[in-house]
Amino acid sequence: MQKYFLLISALFILHTTSAQTQHKKADSLVTTLISENIVVGLVAGYSVNGDTKWQSAKGYADLENKKEMEITTITRPASIAKSMTALAVMQLVEQGLIDIDKPIQTYLPEYPTQKKTQITTRHLLSHTSGINGYKNGKEAQNTKEYATMADAVDVFKNRKLLFEPGARFSYTTYGYTVLGLLIEKVSGSTYGAYMQKNIWDKAGMKHTGIEKYGVTMTGKSELYHRRKGKIKKSTPNNLSNRIPGGGFYTTLEDILLFGNAVLENTLVSESTLDLMRQHHSLEKEANAYGFGWFLYNPKPNEGAIIGHSGEQSGSASQLFIIPSTKTVVVTLANTALSWKEVFVTTSRLMGISQEEVKNE
């Protein structure tokens, strides 16, 4: 019995040491983003099988007042919102309320028709609708308040398309604004209420919601951007023109919870998630995008790693989800124009997380 206890103790010490080594590597990676003046502050973490293995907060949420970043600091997830919106749409598809291949005028009769091919929900989910992005910097740094989703869609709905729907891939946040309006019309609920009940509450996300312009939130990070190696404070912008594609606030814990809800099929069925993980963004394009997910593995394993990136004023974010090992990896930084470095760091964190999986 004593020998058995000693063996178990030795194995536990070996596992703990191995995990501690991985966590030190992870801490070192994210610290570099601060020490090299890439971002002002960040939170990062990963979970396996729903268990948060490592998380860290580095740098400052408020540089001017030397307020440190904390695990619970509220940040902007930017375009990670698109994955949540896509899941909300697919919930309505599962209920038979949306046919992804019917023209969107089926559900939004007021939306302008095209001369030839009509935009479908499939086109919107996969960024193949032809809808353009922001017209200029003023739209990207919007300060106008759009009271309704319909008001936000009115900004661009009559503009000429970039191409015939389904002909090409062109990433567009505005396409996801249309999906937000679609959710409202089909569900009979406001977009925010639908997301709260069917995505955030189901995933256990208590600190995620729609950002309100000019409203001060306790525990929320300030916004920064980096240009030519120098970091400055960003001018606040109003996200009401892009809520479904990038208008949320959140925390590290909530994004980890979201990733685990995806893995546990809490939000949509396994078969629906499989459909979302397929390459829908045209075979001739090298973008590898499904429905609300970037597909990070090359062929023939596209969809083995899914997730989303994001960048906007005061934010550079990255989410990776690995269904085969039930792993979620997240980095949320408060500094724009640093996404490439955040992406590389999160990729390396993903590698560390998989080493930990192997050692379990």
Query: Would you place residue 16 in the very low, low, confident or very high pLDDT band (cuts 50, 70, 90)?
Result: low
**pLDDT at residue 351 tops 90:** yes
325 within domain boundaries: yes
Residue 150: CATH number of its domain: 3.40.710.10
How many folded domains does the chain comprise?
A: 1
Per-residue pLDDT reduced to its tens digit, 225-266:
999 889 999 999 999 999 999 999 999 999 999 999 999 999
The helix-helix angle for 173-187 and 81-94 (nearest 10°) equals 40
In Å, what is the CA distance from 325 to each residue of 19, 48, 200, 358?
17, 7, 23, 10
Task: Please state, rounded to an integer, the average pLDDT across all residues of the chain.
Answer: 94
User: Which residue range(s) make up the domain with 275?
Assistant: 25-359
296 within domain boundaries: yes
Average pLDDT over residues 94-103: 98
**pTM of this structure:** 0.94
83-200-318-236 Cα dihedral, nearest 10 degrees: 100
Question: Which contacts (CB < 8 Å, 24+ apart) does range 210-218 have?
Answer: 210/243, 210/247, 210/248, 210/249, 211/76, 211/239, 211/247, 211/248, 211/249, 213/143, 213/145, 213/237, 213/238, 213/239, 213/240, 217/74, 217/249
315 within domain boundaries: yes
86 within domain boundaries: yes
Per cent of the chain over pLDDT 70 is 95
224 within domain boundaries: yes
Per-residue pLDDT reduced to its tens digit, 50-66:
999 999 999 999 999 99
Phi and psi angles of residue 243, each rounded to the nearest 5 degrees, phi first:
-50, -50
159 within domain boundaries: yes
Given this model, what pLDDT does residue 40 score?
A: 98
13 within domain boundaries: no
9 within domain boundaries: no
**Tokens standing for residue 340:** 């490439």
Both ends of the chain: CA-CA distance in Å?
24
